[in-house]
């Protein structure tokens, strides 16, 4: 079955960096685009970024553009999110999700998420 397991979250100070990972299994990772979606405490869902199956195409939300970088290692079935210059408003649970559409618009299977807290 499709499994996505996020890791790397934690408590960090504003202005610092963090790298999240998402380990995929149960499907051919190298043939699917993958998203990062986040959810601030008590709030709704916010799309963060998506990367194409081969890593050639990457798209970001305006709120993270220039600070976050999405990448993948298909040899390791792993997705990454490098987060720099973190702000308090980046505090959220971060989910990775497989794209089921082939056109970057349908996160179908989601991981359980990893908590990122940005606080001084």
Partner 1 sequence: EIVLTQSPGTLSLSPGERATLFCRASQSVSSSYLAWYQQKPGQAPRLLIYGASSRATGIPDRFSGSGSGTDFTLTISRLEPEDFAVYYCQQARTFGQGTKVEIK
For residue 67, give the nearest of 117, 1, 12, 19 by alpha carbon. Answer: 19
DSSP 87-101: -GGG-EEEEEEEESS
Stretch that binds partner 1, among 20-28, 72-80, 84-92, 97-105 (CB under 8 A): 97-105
Question: Considering the rule CB under 8 A, would residue 113 count as an interface residue with partner 1?
Answer: yes
Question: Considering the rule CB under 8 A, would residue 105 count as an interface residue with partner 1?
Answer: yes
Figure out which of the listed residues 61, 69, 82, 115 binds partner 1, where binding follows CB under 8 A.
Answer: 61
Backbone angles phi, psi at 59, to 5 degrees: -135, 145
Stretch that binds partner 1, among 9-17, 25-33, 71-79, 102-110 (CB under 8 A): 102-110
Q: How far apart are CA 117 and CA 91, in angstroms?
A: 5
Using CB under 8 A as the criterion, what x/- string covers residues 9-28 for binding partner 1?
--------------------
């Amino acid at each position: 079955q499709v499994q996505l397991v996020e890791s790397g979250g934690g408590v960090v100070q504003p202005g610092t960096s963090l790298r999240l990972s998402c380990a995929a299994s149960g499907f051919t990772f190298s043939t699917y685009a993958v998203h990062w979606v986040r959810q601030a405490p008590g709030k709704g869902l916010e799309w963060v970024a998506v990367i194409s199956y081969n890593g050639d195409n990457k798209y970001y939300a305006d709120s993270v553009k220039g600070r976050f970088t999405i990448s993948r290692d298909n040899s390791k079935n792993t997705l990454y999110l490098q987060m720099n210059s973190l702000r308090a408003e980046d505090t959220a649970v971060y989910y990775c999700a497989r794209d089921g559409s082939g056109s970057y618009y349908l996160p179908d299977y989601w991981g359980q998420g990893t908590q990122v807290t940005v606080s001084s």
